Structure 1
Amino acid sequence: MGVHLDHARTFFGRDGNGLLEGGRYALVHTRSLEFDDLRPYVPGDDVRDIDWKASARSGQVLIKRFVTEKHHKIMVVADAGRNMSATAPSGELKRDVAANVIGAMGLITLRRSDEIGMVFGDARGSVDVRLRRGETHVEHMLHRFADHAGTRPSSSRIVTQLDWVARHQRRPLLLFVVSDEPDPDDRLAEVVSRLTARHDVMWATVADVPLIGSSDDEDDGFDVSDGSFVFGAGALGPRVVDAFRQAEAQRRERLSDFMVDYGIPHAVIGGSNAIRHQLTAMTQVYARAG
């Protein structure tokens, strides 16, 4: 594997078999006549797939898993703008966390040679990496994303990339969005409404490190999106800090409610070490929805 895929694999794991049982089943397994193997029952699974004889022998409820002869088509839609140069709660740059998230999704596709592509960019426009298969293609995809995100990107505007996909991708796809935490405004609602009418969508947002720390934090900072100065918490005082934290919590709750309203499985990822857990949880929701 290449440098980017190898790095993603350190957080995602080497063993693809059973690593994302619920979600991986949704992404690369569907019901067909070809039996694959058995796995433990997960709440939300179709009870028609329970293998009662195998369950009786093993002492636990087991589900039949089937493979499809068709390959899946997955389109990553990624924010490569200036917001991804900020710091995640883990201390990593958000663009590095995003690259590892994208790489993890690429690793999921490799075992069954599923097709994967990517649309990434910033407020200026979008770059389209066409659907293809294989390690070399995924590594090339990650290299282009890292190069763009790390070389003087413009401001982030994920709605630009989403609109590009809505206008150009007519056949149904699984869209996997990786972005900063967007504001759920009318423009985002309009384009997401168009996308969810045609495609399946999952969404991973890379969290920001808290803009304001504890009330005794004297360090000032700046906003990477526009370079504006940000006072440290020590200069603002505890009342302002508390009001800011409440506003941030409400903003994140509005975004989560927005995703739920459109039926989008979603996760907030604060660092690369959380990727495996968060992807598992998110893809399990996707499996049950399907």
Structure 2
Amino acid sequence: MGKYLNRVKSLFGSDTRGLLEGGRHALLHTRTLEFDELRPYVPGDDVRDIDWKASARSGSVLIKRFVSEKHHKVLLVADAGLDMTARTPNGERKCDVAGQILGAIGLITLGRSDEIGMVYGDARGSVNIRLRRGETHIESMLHRYHDSDAHRGPSDVVSQLEYVATHYRHAMLLVVVSDEPDVDDRLAAVLARLAARHDMMWAMVTDRPAIEVGSEGGYDVATGRPVLGSAATDARVVAAYHRAEQRRRRRLTELLTEHAVAHVTVAGSRELRRRIVEMTGVFSRAG
């Protein structure tokens, strides 16, 4: 594996069994049945599924049990704008954690032979990487995402979502990786369009709270200006900030839930496996 996938594997692990199962739009490919196990014959079973050699060895009639082998077409949708250069509560850069999430989804698709592509960018536009399979393809996508560090523009993940809504007509699984977006009419409208056609999951990398950074609070990475200024030490301002953050997160959760988007927040790389397993579990149960 390349350096990015190896890094993700060291954090996420190699066991990807059972992840990304289900979904409304899982696609049955040519090899639709996969051998699972042998079990005793019961009346009504298809006699064509009897394993005669195994039956002779065991002394009882055994049936081959098969399961459907379902594959997805997976599209990663990633914010590569300036907002992703901010820090997480754990002190990591959000873009580094986002890259780990993207890589973890890539590892899962490797074990399932899923096709995977990516749309990433910022407010200025989107880069489209076509769907393919394989380790080399996934490593290349991760390299291109990390390589965007040198020329980031303002973040606007809704622009990437609008690009997908316009250019991807066939049903697939969308995995969005960004920070926690503000809820507005543009986001609500594009989510309604996408959720009607695709399965969706959303992993959101959280910001370090503004009130925890220095005497003037945190600063906006897009403008370099303090978020709270000298008021960061005012108890009433801090309380109001907490209330506003709670309202913002509640509105976002309600919007994603309304459109059946499985979602999690990720505060750092130490949470990577737990949060991805949580998100894919919600997705599988919904399917």
Report the TM-score when normalising by structure 1: 0.82
| Kept in 2: contact 1:78–1:161 (CA 8 A) | yes
- State the Cα deviation string for residues 84-106 of structure 1 (Å, max 9, x = none): 00001111100000000000000
Matched, 1:247 2:244: yes
Structure number with larger C-alpha Rg: 2
| Structure 1 unaligned regions, length at least 5 | 39-63
Alignment of 1:30-49 (within 5 A): 33-36=33-36
Residue of structure 2 in register with 1:169 after alignment? 168
Partner of 1:267: 264
Match in the other structure for 1:26? 22
Q: Which residue of 2 aligns with 1:193?
A: 192
Question: Offset of 1:225 from its aligned partner?
Answer: 2.4
Is contact 1:8-1:104 (8 Å) kept? Answer: yes
Distance 1:12 1:37 in 2: 28
Q: How far 1:260 sits from its partner (Å)? A: 0.5
- The aligned amino acid for 2:152 is P
Deviation at 1:272, TM superposition (A): 1.0
**Cα deviations by residue, 1:2-52 (Å, 9 ceiling, x for unpaired):** 111111111110233x3xx3x4433798896544369xxxxxxxxxxxxxx
Counterpart in the other structure of 1:106:
106
Alignment of 1:15-164 (within 5 A): 15-16=15-16, 18=17, 21=18, 23-26=19-22, 33-36=33-36, 66-68=67-69, 71-148=71-148, 150-164=149-163
Q: Residues 65, 258 of structure 1: CA spacing in aligned structure 2 closer, same or farther, 3 A cutoff?
A: farther
Q: What letter corresponds to residue 25 of structure 1 in structure 2?
A: E
Q: Is the 8 A contact 1:30 1:66 kept in 2?
A: no
Q: What is the alpha-carbon distance in structure 1 between the residues aligned to residue 254 and residue 66 of structure 2?
A: 32
Compute the displacement of 1:218 (Å): 2.5
Q: Is the contact made by 2:82 and 2:221 (CA closer than 8 Å) also made in structure 1?
A: yes
**Residue identity (%):** 50
Q: Give the match for residue 281 of structure 2.
A: 284
CA contact (8 A) 2:210 2:217 kept: no
| Correspondent of 1:218 among 197, 201, 215 | 215
Distance in structure 1 (CA, Å) of the matches to 2:268 and 2:135: 24
The aligned counterpart of 2:56 is none
Counterpart residue type for residue 135 of structure 2: E
Alpha-carbon offset, residue 163 of structure 1? 0.5
Secondary structure in 2 aligned to 1:227?
coil
Corresponding letter in the other structure for 1:115: E
State the SS of the aligned residue for 2:100. Answer: helix
Q: 1:72 offset after TM fit, Å?
A: 1.8
Does the 8 A contact of 2:201 with 2:263 survive in 1?
yes
**Alpha-carbon distance change, 238 to 14 in structure 1, aligned in 2, over 3 angstroms:** same
CA contact (8 A) 1:163 1:191 kept: yes
Distance 1:13 1:65 in 2: 28
SS at match of 1:90: coil
Residues 75 and 173 in structure 1, CA contact (< 8 A), matched pair in contact too: yes
Match status 1:209 vs 2:208: yes
- Aligned-residue CA RMSD in angstroms? 2.4
Give the aligned partner of residue 54 of structure 1.
none
**Conservation of the 8 A alpha-carbon contact between 2:27 and 2:71:** no
Unmatched 5+ residue regions in structure 2?
39-64
The amino acid across from 1:26 in the alignment is: G
